[in-house]
Amino acid sequence: MKQSDPKLLSRRSLLWSAPLAMAGAAATMASRTAATATTTGTAAAAARLAGEVCEAPELLGQGAFQYHANRHWGLLDRQRYPVADCHGVCEDRAGRIVMLTNDTHNNLIAYTRSGQFRAAWETRFPAAHGLDIVEHGEEERYWITDHDRQVVSVCTPDGRELRVTGPDVLAHKYPDLGRYHPTNSATLSDGQFYVSDGYGSSFVHHFDPDGRYMSSFGGEGDAPEQLRTPHAVWIDARSGKPLLLVCDRSHDMLKWFSLSGELLRIVAVPDLQPSNVAAFSGSHSDHLAVCGLNGMILILDGSDHVVSCVGGDPPKYVDGKLQPLSAYNYTFIHPHDVYVDKAHALYVVQWASNQTYPIKLELATPLPL
């Protein structure tokens, strides 16, 4: 996220402060009750009494996709491993959950799936915004987008930069290169890639495997094929034929394009502000998780029908049309990216959310893998 929406921020700040106050009061009560029990009985009694004032874990979502949130999953020592906005999250081939932050003390932080710290590195991206880990033969490559430096950088896992796609390759397209601010990238198996100009002029640009410009589509406007804040691009290969899915954030829409830029279909997600997409695997490989800046994660089935709103009221359809979505809990402030692991757990990172570390959500009832 680049620019702040005062209404959004004030509403989220209010929502965030209330539960913190309530949580603090509950913790104080639990501590006092436990202390009393310790002086009058056994430690077991203290634990039991403390538990009586603690609520059951919050259940988020509906149907088969109901989750318990572990808000403390990614907590680290802020002095050693600080974060600012947490913008991206992926998993590498070693099974580490890798998070991207725009704090240049450590743009990248890696965890185990259980939340243990593994590594922190990278310092070159003050506006780090998009992260994708791509298999390239026997190697992994990290694609990192920085919207202020106006670059998409391809790096080895240890940080060696292999290629930079900067604004100069688009000089013929932009009379004013100050209007180019890329936010995300998506890569095809043959090396071609797409870059969304989410914070600039709302184009999606297509490049060949060597980083040479090929074409553009979209552009700012309200026609169906146009975009407003194409925040993320993602290759959707669920049907066996790859398509380009664009999170058209300011239009509250998901838009699917052919690889040549032809608009194919639109799914409206009113009041979500879609920011990023992740795929499920295994038994639910036709499902998607869509992260929304307005405080929710949507689960879409293979027909792009919303089957769960994690962090919001149940999705409601009228005459086949999804009605405006509404966040109701305090778990999320501004979710910016989501990743789904093989156990269908969700990892969520957030923008402008009190420098929070990643949150992990685990299914209340496991699904077949």
Q: Per-domain residue ranges for the chain?
A: 1-55, 56-363
- Does the structure show a pLDDT above 60 at 27? no
Q: Which residues contact 326 (CB under 8 A, 6 or more apart)?
A: 271, 312, 313
What single-letter amino acid sits at 255? K
Say whether pLDDT at 60 is over 80.
Answer: yes
Structure tokens at 266: 């639109």
Residue 32 has pLDDT above 50, yes or no: no
Output the 3-class SS for the chain.
Answer: CCCCCHHHHHHHHHHHHHHHHHHHHHHHHHHHHHHHHHHHCCHHHHHHHHHHCCCCCCEEEECCEEEEEECCCCCCCCCCCCCCCEEEEEECCCCCEEEEECCCCCCEEEECCCCCEEEEECCCCCCEEEEEEEEECCEEEEEEEECCCCEEEEECCCCCEEEEECHHHHCCCCCCHHHCCCCEEEECCCCCEEEECCCCCCEEEEECCCCCEEEEEECECCCCCCECCEEEEEEECCCCCCEEEEEEHHHCEEEEECCCCCEEEEEECCCCCEEEEEECCHHHCCCEEEEECCCEEEEECCCCCEEEEECECCCCEECCEECCCCECCCCCCCEEEEEECCCCCEEEEECCCCCCCCEEEEECCCCCC
On the question of pLDDT at 9 being above 80, the answer is no
Half-sphere exposure of 302 (CA within 13 A, CB side): 9
Look up tokens 């993602």; give the residue.
234
Q: What is the mean pLDDT of residues 253-269?
A: 98
**Residues 184, 188, 189, 190, CA torsion sign:** negative
Residue 1 clears pLDDT 60, i.e. is over it: no
- If you average pLDDT over every residue of the chain, what do you get? 89
φ and ψ of 18, to 5 deg: -60, -55
Among the listed residues 348, 349, 352, 140, the one whose alpha carbon sits nearest the alpha carbon of residue 362:
348
Among residues 242, 150, 137, 230, the alpha carbon closest in space to that of 187 is found at 242
Alpha carbon of residue 45 to chain centroid: 42
- pLDDT category at 54 given cuts 50, 70, 90 is low
When pLDDT is averaged across residues 21-32 and rounded to a whole number, the result is 40
Using only the alpha carbons of the chain, give its radius of gyration: 21
Closest CA relative to residue 284, chosen from 267, 297, 302, 298: 302
**Spatial contact of 293 and 334, defined as CB atoms under 8 Å apart:** yes
Q: Which of 333, 254, 245, 340 is nearest to 295 (CA)?
A: 333
Record the tokens describing residue 122, joined without a space: 């990278």
> What is the structure's pLDDT at 342?
97
Predicted confidence band of residue 137 (pLDDT cuts 50, 70, 90)? confident
> What backbone torsions phi and psi does residue 111 show, to the nearest 5 degrees?
-125, 160
Distance, in Å, from the CA atom of 246 to the CA atom of 216, rounded to the nearest integer, reads 13
| 34: pLDDT strictly greater than 60 | no
pLDDT tens digit sequence for 289-328: 999 999 999 999 999 999 999 999 999 999 999 999 999 8
Is residue 129 within 8 A of residue 111, CB to CB? The reply is no
Q: What's the pLDDT score for residue 138?
A: 87
> Of 42-56, 174-188, 269-283, where does mean pLDDT reach its minimum?
42-56
- Architecture category of domain 56-363 in CATH: 6 Propeller (2.120)
Q: Residue range 106-115: average pLDDT?
A: 98
pLDDT of residue 39: 36
Q: What is the residue type of 125?
A: F
Q: Quick one: which of 223, 275, 232 has its CA closest to 252?
A: 275
